[in-house]
Amino acid sequence: MDYPKGVKVIKNKDYRYDNRGMILEEDLNLTNQYYINNKIAYIYKRPTPIQVTKTEYRNNKKIIKEAFFKESSTTDYNGLYKGIYIDFEAKETKSKTSFPLGNIHDHQIKHLTNVLDNGGLAFFIIRFTSLNKTFLLTAKDFIEYFKDSKRKSIPLTYFVEKAHLIKESYNIRLDYIKIVDTLLGGTNE
């Protein structure tokens, strides 16, 4: 195929590598599949929201000829555990000292606030790739920092103090439901 000069064409196969949080995403997908197979929980990834601007029909099938990736208004994952609604965002950072808040959007915070207001469990799973450490930080603690501070990032020390370290293993890559259990035990009984 010929493309105009200077136009970079990316086929679908490469598309996912272009996303942030790729390795963490794979770990979470494997973990969630393990939870589904063993009837532990049912948590799944949301599709990337897309704004369709032009469609046409080809052989009676509607195809999209132009569309844009939208800023997500929700989070990456949701689902349920023992009937309880679960919602979380997963992010990686290469920083060794803090998690940058730049790619967390206000409407994601609004979404998480709605989840908390209605009794659901919401959190962030954040991996410091250089440290090889993955934390679960509750949305409550995240939002507290996000709202009250003028800082552009959450320091690692906040994670060490407030968050829960997720154990990594071969069978269950990131067994975050164990931490969810602790959280539910502490808040729901």
* Residues lying near a copy of itself in the complex (CB under 8 A): 3, 7-12, 15, 18, 36, 39, 41-42, 44, 46-47, 49-58, 61-69, 74, 78-86, 114-115, 117-121
Residue of 100, 97, 88 whose CA lies nearest to 160: 97
44, 81 Cβ separation under 8 angstroms? no
How deeply is 101 buried, as exposed, middle or buried, from its count of CB atoms within 10 A (0-12, 13-18, 19+)? Answer: middle
Q: How far is the CB of 116 from a copy of itself (least distance, A)?
A: 10
Nearer to a copy of itself, 84 or 101 (CB): 84
| Residue that has been written with the tokens 């949301």 in this structure | 46
Smaller CB separation from a copy of itself, 47 or 102: 47
Among residues 112, 119, 167, 165, the alpha carbon closest in space to that of 142 is found at: 112
Please tell me the distance from the alpha carbon of residue 53 to that of residue 119, in angstroms, as a whole number: 37
Nearer to a copy of itself (CB atom), residue 131 or residue 184: 184
Nearest distance from residue 133's CB to a copy of itself, in Å?
A: 29
Query: Dmax over Cα atoms in the chain, in whole Å?
Result: 63
3-state secondary structure of 58: strand
Nearer to a copy of itself, 139 or 156 (CB): 139
The distance of closest approach from Cβ of residue 122 to a copy of itself in the complex, given in angstroms and rounded to an integer, is 10
Nearest approach, Cβ of residue 103 and a copy of itself (Å): 15
Tell the smallest beta-carbon distance from residue 42 to a copy of itself (Å): 4
Nearer to a copy of itself, 23 or 52 (CB): 52
Nearer Cβ to a copy of itself (134/138): 138
d(CA 92, CA 77): 15
What is the smallest separation between the CB atom of 150 and a copy of itself, expressed in angstroms? Answer: 29
Other CB atoms within 10 A of residue 123 CB: 28
